Amino acid sequence: MSLFDSYGAYRGRFAPSPSGPLHFGSLVAALASYLDAKANKGTWLVRIEDIDTPRVVAGSSDLILKTLEAYGLYWDDKVSYQSQNIPHYENVLEQLRSQQLVYGCQCTRKQIKACGGFYHNTCRELNLPLDHNAIRLKQAHPVYQFVDGIRGQINVSANFAKEDYIVKRRDQLFAYQLVVVLDDIQQKITHIVRGADLLDPTVRQISLFKMLSQPIPQFSHVPLAVAEPGFKLSKQNHAPAIDLQNPNLTLIDALRFLGIANDSDAHQLAFASRDEILSWGTAQWALNKVHQTQEIQVIPHDQQFRFKAL
């Protein structure tokens, strides 16, 4: 049964973590998920993933929303915030606990690194208390592969797929891997378009959808914008700030980056309005046009960017 049958309509989302202003890479993810939703006459939601409180930068949620508005990327329903959904996460964790699907783990990062970088489910049978320990989910049905809407067949290592991953951290914060799936279920998300840094963890998310007997969304991963190979654009590596006053050039750059616009399209679009650029992007959008690479290097050049596939 496809998700369309079970939920009836396309629902996509952009789910930024408010750890700073949007940079070009996150704008690319926002634009791709927006265009995919609009091209499918779907609903596009924005969810602020502010669960990792130590990484939240004050004011950045509002700035992200202002930026999306300045770029004409208007969302179709109330913005949701993970920080306001904690009772729901607690409820689900309690259900998992009562079914003995989670356990406490005392292993440190250093110990895991010393064992080859993968957690070998060491504490699974130790019956450690859940309080003051990290809480891991028993990975009873590992998923080793899936078909990505852009990248095609994806296979991950067995070690990665079989790892009992953390759902609540020792510092009592819920982990991204759990809450992202709980939110996508609650918001009835049918299609997820996001950056390729989340390609491998998708198998964990799919296994969790299955474990909770929920329909699995279609996942599609767009290339990651990097400053240097392996280094995502970020404030730390001086990603140029996104221009709020003049979104057109950046939107055209993002369409070129994704593979939707070529140089001659970009030239023509230079004379279009912001909303015309978005309508053109929606009409041209197709997942099979998007570059299938993991990373694309972004090199600032005059007022525009140059791109180099890696």
Residues that bind ligand GLU (CB under 6 A): 15-17, 49, 180, 194, 198
Angle (nearest 5°) at CA 213 between 207 and 215? 80
Which residue, 222 or 251, has its beta carbon nearer to ligand GLU? 222
Cβ at position 3, least distance to ligand GLU in Å = 16
* Residues forming a β-bridge with 304: 301
Torsional class of 259: left (φ above 0), alpha (ψ -120 to 50), beta (otherwise): left
Cβ at position 191, least distance to ligand GLU in Å = 12
Which residue, 17 or 133, has its beta carbon nearer to ligand GLU? 17
Helix (H) or strand (E) holding 167: strand 166-168
Signed CA dihedral, 64, 69, 72, 73: sign only:
positive
**Length of the chain measured in residues:** 310
Give the position of tokens 């609009």.
38
Cβ at position 290, least distance to ligand GLU in Å = 16
Measured distance CA(46)–CA(12) in Å, rounded: 9
CA distances for 67 relative to 32, 62, 299, angstroms: 15, 9, 22
CA distances for 129 relative to 107, 164, 290, angstroms: 13, 16, 47
Q: Is the separation of the CB atoms in 40 and 10 below 8 Å? A: yes
Q: What is the DSSP string of 107-119?
A: --HHHHHHTTSS-
Which residue, 15 or 233, has its beta carbon nearer to ligand GLU? 15
Cβ at position 44, least distance to ligand GLU in Å = 13
Cβ at position 198, least distance to ligand GLU in Å = 6
Which residue, 52 or 163, has its beta carbon nearer to ligand GLU? 52
Cβ at position 15, least distance to ligand GLU in Å = 4
Which residue, 161 or 180, has its beta carbon nearer to ligand GLU? 180
Which residue, 73 or 180, has its beta carbon nearer to ligand GLU? 180
Which residue, 101 or 198, has its beta carbon nearer to ligand GLU? 198
Which residue, 50 or 104, has its beta carbon nearer to ligand GLU? 50
Cβ at position 134, least distance to ligand GLU in Å = 20
Measured distance CA(15)–CA(192) in Å, rounded: 10
Cβ at position 255, least distance to ligand GLU in Å = 20
- Coil/strand/helix, residue 251: helix
Q: Is the separation of the CB atoms in 222 and 28 below 8 Å? A: yes
Find all residues with CB under 8 Å of 26, minimum gap 6, and list them.
16, 195
